[in-house]
Amino acid sequence: MSTPINRSTPIRLGTRRSALAQAQSGHVAAALEKVSGRAVELVPITSEGDTNRASLSEIGGQGIFATRLREALLAGECDFLVHSLKDLPTAIPDGLVIAATPVREDARDVVITRGGTPLHQLRTGSTVGTGSPRRIAQVRRRAPHAEVVDIRGNVDSRLQRVATGELDAVILAAAGLSRLGTDSPLRREELGLAEWPTAPGQGSLAVETPTDAPEELLRALAALDDPDTRLAITVERGVLEGLDAGCQAPMAAHAQVEGDEIRVRAVVYAPDGDRRIGLDVTEPLNREYIRRNGSGNGADAADGAYPMRAARELGLVVAHRLLEQGAADLVSREHSSS
């Protein structure tokens, strides 16, 4: 049985120290305060991803942002966490649960330039900054004449590198710019998801807490959950899991609920962008089943105990079909080079 909450003490939200992490945690904190009637305080935590400036592809990708925060949560240093869902590995540690996935922000990528030149029209030799293997492969397909520069850093530092002329363009997530409320004279080009799908979970947040958290906290967090977002990201993470893309093979998956159907677009790219293998699949939704059984653990529905298992299974099927159609060659090639 969980311990009751002392309502006179604030709920502690563990968050990375970056401006973006603080902003998105602040949005969730404000929503939780309205639902719970209690104060929420931010507990800054430094992750390896915040201190190690090496390329993400070299230091482990997703898990470097989540590991230290989860250690703090399990140690009782905070009561819950807010993650960028795309930063979370598909395996959720024992003792933790994704208690909510709030309404998703814009899942698209955007190209930031000084003059507004579209990515595919940039001059030969133009420099485009990104540290994502997926975005690197996509840039090489969309603008093969451009030079890709592997970069790290926060949103402001990336924008500054364009403003000063050090780079001609950078690729950023639209959701991050929106959450930060970034006001910049630089120009932006939104990249459509049909031709430029993004990372599984992009634009979504994951609210994580211990499985034995007080029932009052679990109920309050569950009130922040958006069922359509949860369905979509569960499919996307199923694709990621099925591809076993922790090898950093460039891949994208985006799912969207459209009426009584869910549509998923998934692509695996060759690292140099010269090949891509993709699928576009639409399946019907059983909304009555979701309404009776849905809640809580959308992002880590790892077995049949959770109602999101059908969504996860759809993602796994899509991944299997991609592998059968040749994506296995792209993934294995990446394994052999790592």
Bridge partner residues of 268 (DSSP): 251, 277
Exposure class string for 3-35: b at 16+ Cβ within 10 A, else e: eebeeeebbbbbbbebebbbbbbbebbebbeee
The angle, 0 to 180 degrees and rounded to 10, between the axes of the packed helices 19-36 and 155-163 is: 140
11: Cβ–Cβ under 8 A, 6 or more apart, which residues? 5, 32, 36, 38, 39, 40, 41, 79, 80, 217
Cα R_g (the chain), whole angstroms: 20
CA 278 to chain centre: 20
Residues 161, 28: Cα–Cα separation, whole Å: 30
- For the question of residue 87 being annotated catalytic, the response is yes
Bridge partner residues of 276 (DSSP): 269
Bridge partner residues of 205 (DSSP): 84
75: Cβ–Cβ under 8 A, 6 or more apart, which residues? none
Residues 31, 226: Cα–Cα separation, whole Å: 13
Nearest by Cα to 287 from 262, 269, 306 = 262
Do β-strands 80-84 and 11-15 pair in parallel, antiparallel, or remain unpaired?
A: parallel
Alpha-carbon distances of 216 from 29, 81, 155, 180, 262, rounded to whole Å: 16, 16, 36, 30, 32
Bridge partner residues of 127 (DSSP): 147
The angle, 0 to 180 degrees and rounded to 10, between the axes of the packed helices 309-322 and 227-243 is: 40
In angstroms, how far is the first alpha carbon of the chain from the final one?
46
Which one from 79, 87, 228, 300 is the annotated catalytic residue?
Answer: 87
The residues that are catalytic are 87
